[in-house]
Amino acid sequence: MRTPLLAGNWKMNGSTDLVEAFGRTFAETKLTKEVEVAIFPPFPYLESARRAFDSTPLRLGAQTLNPIHFGAHTGEVSGQMLCEFRVRYALVGHSERRQLYRESDDQVFDRLLAALTVGLTPVLCVGETLEERDAGRTMEVVMRQVGFVMSRLEPEQRTQVVIAYEPVWAIGTGRTATPEQAQGVMAAIRDYQASYSQELAEALRLLYGGSMNADNAAELLAQPDIDGGLVGGASLKVDDFVAICQSAG
Ligand code: PEP
């Protein structure tokens, strides 16, 4: 049985007030189903979030990490540092990092390995662009991104990874993949994992990301291979995010 995971990626948004609003609301909200919920705020808010979320079920995630543990890397943050703030999860390979900061598959892999090394759970983001979908290359692109990472991991490490399927054309556009489109790709990702082990495939947590909101979450989360969501815009509104969390399970 896979526990659903709802992950709120604030990107370069948020404020101390928002952190506190989430802390207050989630302290009072009874989540009806067994779900795990994590917020991924910008680095400067990690400490206030750690405190504000203390009496809530909210967990913390980081939006990226540097593969190196410490040293002369101005502006960067390491996995070891994140662990001091009780961070549990780290996004790697988000399409904004791949596109805007030119992160290559090799760099994505290095970050993911660094996360595993310090005990963080990496959330590996994969997904095709609109051009690639229109050219009928969705499966090829997504499987290459997944395979690049998974084929380089030890069997034990593969069990620690969460994968988020995020069609790039659906991120921040208001254009959500249909439940059938998302389910099709996510079933293929699970099948790919089954080529390593059936047990691994069954335990793998797969998140959908791309304009998930309070109105479409239930239908997406009802798909057999969708175990949660990576939510951007709608995770900035506490009531919407609570509604999304309540539709999982
Ligand atoms: C994301 O940034 O991972 C994301 C899914 O964003 P949005 O929900 O805004 O599309």
pLDDT at position 31: 84
Q: How far apart are CA 191 and CA 183, in angstroms?
A: 12
Residues lining ligand 1, Cβ inside 6 A = 9, 11, 166, 171-172, 209-212, 230-234
| Residue to probe by mutation, ligand 1, list 5, 10, 11, 169, most atoms within 8 Å of CB | 11
Tell me the CA distances in angstroms from 106 to 67, 72, 110, 113, one per residue in order. 11, 21, 6, 11
**Mean pLDDT value across the chain:** 97
pLDDT at position 1: 81
Out of 3.20.20.70, 3.40.50.11810, 3.90.230.10, 3.40.50.300, the CATH code matching 5-247 is: 3.20.20.70
pLDDT at position 33: 72
User: Could you read off the pLDDT of 47-84 as tens digits, one per residue?
Assistant: 999 999 999 999 999 999 999 999 999 999 999 999 99
pLDDT at position 249: 67
User: Could you read off the pLDDT of 131-187 as tens digits, one per residue?
Assistant: 999 999 999 999 999 999 999 999 999 999 999 999 999 999 999 999 999 999 999
Per domain, the residue ranges of the chain are 5-247
